[in-house]
Amino acid sequence: MNNAFPWRRLCCSALLLTLVFAPLGCKRKSKVRVQQTDEESPRMASTVHMGDPKAETQLVSGFYGIEGNAWRWTQRQFSVVLRPPVGSAAKGATLHVRLTVPDPVIAKLKTVSLFAAISGSTLAPETYTQPGTYTYTRDVAARLLTGESVRVDFGLDKAMPPSGADLRELGLVVLEIGLEPK
């Protein structure tokens, strides 16, 4: 029949494929290939840049994903872990947070206050009444910086609740958080 199914060709092709690929199985010794890993174990950073995906391990909670390769929205409460700078256990350090208070936050909330806490010690809050870019800076006592790492908890007095436009609770936009030696 003119339209007959090409059995013979199909069987020959299958046999050929089997012969071609069978050696692949015979040669394999390991069940899995390995892929290189990055073994250069990084030290914990004293300053965390929000645009750096590698810094995410130091963001404990309260941060959303990176936006614009540079910043992250926060929730009402957020925390990071930082490495105290060299000598800070004796002299103390300065905590700085580079942040932006976006227009919609002020439009909706009028004012927003940021405070920080380290090991139970609360640092003085700062209140923002205008949209713009700010740096929140506070001295941190040496006695709070004696360990290998320090957890810094931040809080806002209020945040934008989830809405139809954005289902996230939104606090501030943060670009960088760090401890600098004195």
- Contacts with other proteins, residue ranges (CB under 8 A): 3, 5-6, 10, 14, 17, 21, 24-26, 28, 30-44, 53-54, 56-58, 60-61, 81, 83, 147-149, 151
Q: Which is nearer to other proteins, 24 or 124 (CB)?
A: 24
State the minimum distance, in angstroms, from the CB of residue 145 to other proteins: 13
State the minimum distance, in angstroms, from the CB of residue 80 to other proteins: 10
Q: Which is nearer to other proteins, 32 or 165 (CB)?
A: 32
State the minimum distance, in angstroms, from the CB of residue 37 to other proteins: 4
CB 43 within 8 A of CB 85: no
Q: Which is nearer to other proteins, 75 or 174 (CB)?
A: 75
Half-sphere exposure of 160 (CA within 13 A, CB side): 23
CA dihedral for 177, 70, 128, 153, sign (positive or negative) = negative
**In whole angstroms, what is the distance from residue 114 CA to residue 124 CA?**
9
Q: Which is nearer to other proteins, 33 or 110 (CB)?
A: 33
Amino acid code (one letter) for 151: R
Residue 81: CB atoms within 10 Å? 16
What is the residue whose two structure tokens read 């957890």? 151
State the minimum distance, in angstroms, from the CB of residue 79 to other proteins: 10
